[in-house]
């Protein structure tokens, strides 16, 4: 059991202003695996003050020096891969093999890539008689979620530091222990005091201070659309820059000329990754009405391959959900889908066999789902796939775009040019063509209520920079 009782502020591990503790629950067996400080508003204020005091010096630090720090952090995380993979598998529930590759491998890559991109980044350009320069936005508050905890932290903190910003991080209290390991790695790398600060606690206390404080120049938030709206409201009072990566209800559009066996299997995999706890999960599978019976059987077969179990064992392909509240939420959506007329193709609301302890849910497929049904419109954040029938290509595009969200999606077709044409019509930030793999250097972010701003690659660094134009008299 890990007992963390200090926060990392101004380069030191300091006692919080209050004595409250938050329990961290292991998702596979519901045991208490650790505790963290329940941060106070004054802790957040101290961290902001430290970040503000450190900003001028860090912003003026030569690029080559910042690159060196980023590389040290990448190496420090890589050295602790096994510890972090096990920790996140216990916190979140992702099977250990996947956690090692995705939950830790992704952050290690992205810290290193931030260093590589920073070396090549052009901070100045000449436009007529203007010297256009890019400068760091200032003090950044990073508020991060629990589903890919270390990677979502990395996609904010690494590019912000690369840009020359200082950071106050508030990780999710549901999966926070990995953030303390990152703070230890940053401390060991010798980052100047105040450049990175860690404050844990609840959103309505610590998060609201970070979003509203006048000395914070930017808030980068990943989480629910509801919470993102609240962050925006608070940040608007001081006209901060706000980057939001919010919910999704991504559609996988299987066109009539697709390889259906490949497309259905690929969609199921894209829906169930991390037990469906992925904002860009392909949770709506759109199929030609005439092919529904074929799709139903292919989906049932694909789901049968998802062995549910303890994420620390080699046999589990699907682990538990992160918490009791999340399990209750997902099960209630399964019930509602059936009540609203969907066909239960696979899974269901009952506990998986032999798994009465832990936050496990059966991987579930609901068939013949009405495009306006609750399960077709609201984000479930669990292993639940809705099969929706369409009558024509135009109808498929209409249904795919009939959502308040626009984060991810997919198009499957035997004709790649056709797939690209359909993909261009989807109002969403990212579209996978015939199962194209995730590209960590491409921009990631959403349209509509999936948020604004982009993370990943050079686009992530640009998010934390301001433009300044210096006009000179022409000779």
State the Cα–Cα distance between residues 252 and 266, nearest whole angstrom: 9
Q: Which domains does the chain have, with CATH numbers?
A: 2-246+450-470 (3.40.605.10), 250-439 (3.40.309.10)
Bridging pattern class, strands 465-471 and 130-136: antiparallel
Specify the pTM: 0.97
Tokens for 348? Answer: 């269901």
State the Cα–Cα distance between residues 196 and 140, nearest whole angstrom: 10
Closest to 263 (Cα-Cα) out of 271, 272, 254 = 254
State the Cα–Cα distance between residues 85 and 94, nearest whole angstrom: 9
Bridge partner list, 390: 288
Q: What's the pLDDT score for residue 314? A: 86
Task: Please indicate whether residue 245 is annotated as part of the active site.
Answer: yes
Around Cβ 246, how many Cβ atoms within 10 Å? 27
Tokens for 465? Answer: 């920079």
Q: What is the dihedral of CA 217, 220, 221, 222, to 10 degrees?
A: 180
Cβ-contact 10, 198 below 8 angstroms: no
- Percentages (nearest 5) of helix, strand, coil residues in the chain: 40, 20, 35
Q: What's the pLDDT score for residue 298? A: 98
Task: Give 287's contacts (C-beta < 8 A, 6+ positions apart).
Answer: 254, 295, 387, 388, 389, 390
Bridging pattern class, strands 130-136 and 124-127: antiparallel
Task: Give 462's contacts (C-beta < 8 A, 6+ positions apart).
Answer: 134, 454
Per residue of the chain (475 residues), what is the pLDDT tens digit?
Answer: 899 999 999 999 999 999 999 999 999 999 999 999 999 999 999 999 999 999 999 999 999 999 999 999 999 999 999 999 999 999 999 999 999 999 999 999 999 999 999 999 999 999 999 999 999 999 999 999 999 999 999 999 999 999 999 999 999 999 999 999 999 999 999 999 999 999 999 999 999 999 999 999 999 999 999 999 999 999 999 999 999 999 999 999 999 999 999 999 999 999 999 999 999 999 999 999 999 999 999 999 999 999 999 999 988 999 999 999 999 999 999 999 999 999 999 999 999 999 999 999 999 999 999 999 999 999 999 999 999 999 999 999 999 999 999 999 999 999 999 999 999 999 999 999 999 999 999 999 999 999 999 999 999 999 999 999 999 998 7
Cβ-contact 284, 249 below 8 angstroms: yes
CA 424 from centre of chain: 24
Q: What's the pLDDT score for residue 475? A: 72
Around Cβ 354, how many Cβ atoms within 10 Å? 9
Task: Give 294's contacts (C-beta < 8 A, 6+ positions apart).
Answer: 260
Task: Give 228's contacts (C-beta < 8 A, 6+ positions apart).
Answer: 221, 244, 246, 451
Question: Within 222-291, where are the H helices?
Answer: 225-236, 260-272
State the Cα–Cα distance between residues 194 and 290, nearest whole angstrom: 61
| CB-facing half-sphere around the CA of 382: CA atoms within 13 A | 30
Which of 45, 91, 173, 245 is an active site residue?
Answer: 245
Question: Within 95-207, where are the H helices?
Answer: 96-98, 105-120, 149-163, 177-189
H or E segment to which residue 211 belongs = helix 208-212
Helices (H) and strands (E) in the chain, counts: 16, 23
State the Cα–Cα distance between residues 274 and 102, nearest whole angstrom: 10
State the Cα–Cα distance between residues 61 and 55, nearest whole angstrom: 10
Task: Please indicate whether residue 279 is annotated as part of the active site.
Answer: yes
CA 29 from centre of chain: 24
Which of 165, 271, 279, 389 is an active site residue?
Answer: 279
Q: What's the pLDDT score for residue 191? A: 98
Tokens for 19? Answer: 């004595």
Q: What's the pLDDT score for residue 474? A: 82
Tokens for 302? Answer: 């694909």
Tokens for 232? Answer: 């925006």
């Amino acid at each position: 059991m890990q007992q963390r009782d200090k926060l990392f502020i101004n380069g030191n591990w300091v006692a919080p202003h209050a004595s409250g503790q938050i329990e961290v629950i292991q998702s596979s067996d519901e045991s208490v695996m650790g505790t963290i400080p329940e941060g106070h508003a004054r802790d957040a204020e101290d961290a902001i003050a430290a970040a503000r005091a450190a900003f001028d010096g860090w912003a003026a630090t030569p690029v080559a020096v910042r690159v060196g720090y980023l590389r040290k952090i990448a190496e420090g995380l890589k050295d602790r891969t096994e510890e972090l993979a096990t920790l996140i598998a216990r916190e979140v529930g992702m099977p250990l093999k996947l956690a090692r590759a995705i939950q830790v491998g992704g952050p290690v890559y992205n810290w290193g890539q931030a260093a590589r991109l920073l070396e090549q980044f052009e901070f100045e350009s000449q436009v007529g008689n203007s010297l256009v320069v890019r400068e760091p936005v200032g003090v950044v508050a990073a508020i991060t979620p629990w589903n890919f905890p270390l990677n979502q932290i990395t996609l904010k903190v690494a590019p912000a530091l690369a840009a020359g910003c200082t950071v106050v991080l508030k990780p999710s209290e549901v999966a926070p222990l990995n953030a303390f390991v990152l703070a230890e790695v940053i401390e060991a790398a010798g980052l100047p005091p105040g450049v990175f600060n860690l404050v844990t606690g609840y959103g309505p206390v610590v998060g609201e201070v970070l979003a509203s404080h006048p000395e914070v120049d930017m808030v980068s938030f990943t989480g629910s659309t509801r919470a993102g709206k609240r962050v925006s409201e608070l940040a608007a009072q001081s006209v901060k820059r706000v980057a939001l990566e919010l919910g999704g209800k991504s559609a996988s559009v299987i066109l009539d000329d697709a390889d259906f066996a490949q497309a259905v299997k690929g969609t199921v995999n894209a829906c169930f990754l991390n037990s469906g706890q992925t904002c860009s999960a392909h949770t709506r599978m759109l199929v030609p009405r005439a092919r529904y019976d074929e799709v139903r059987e292919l989906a049932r077969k694909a789901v049968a391959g998802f062995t549910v179990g303890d994420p620390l064992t080699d046999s589990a392909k699907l682990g538990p959900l992160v918490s009791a509240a999340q399990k209750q939420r997902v099960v209630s959506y399964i019930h509602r889908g059936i009540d609203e007329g969907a066909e239960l193709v696979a899974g269901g609301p009952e506990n998986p066999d032999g798994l009465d302890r832990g936050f496990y849910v059966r991987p579930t497929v609901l068939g013949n789902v009405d495009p306006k049904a609750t399960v077709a419109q609201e984000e479930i954040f669990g292993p639940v796939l809705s099969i929706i029938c369409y009558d024509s290509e135009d109808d498929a595009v209409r249904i795919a775009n009939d959502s308040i969200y626009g984060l991810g999606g997919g198009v499957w077709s035997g004709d790649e040019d056709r797939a690209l044409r359909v993909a261009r019509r989807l109002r969403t930030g990212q579209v996978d063509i015939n199962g194209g793999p995730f590209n960590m250097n491409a921009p990631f972010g959403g349209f509509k209520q999936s948020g604004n701003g982009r993370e990943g690659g050079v686009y992530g660094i640009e998010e934390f920079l301001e433009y300044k134009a210096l006009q000179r008299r022409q000779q």
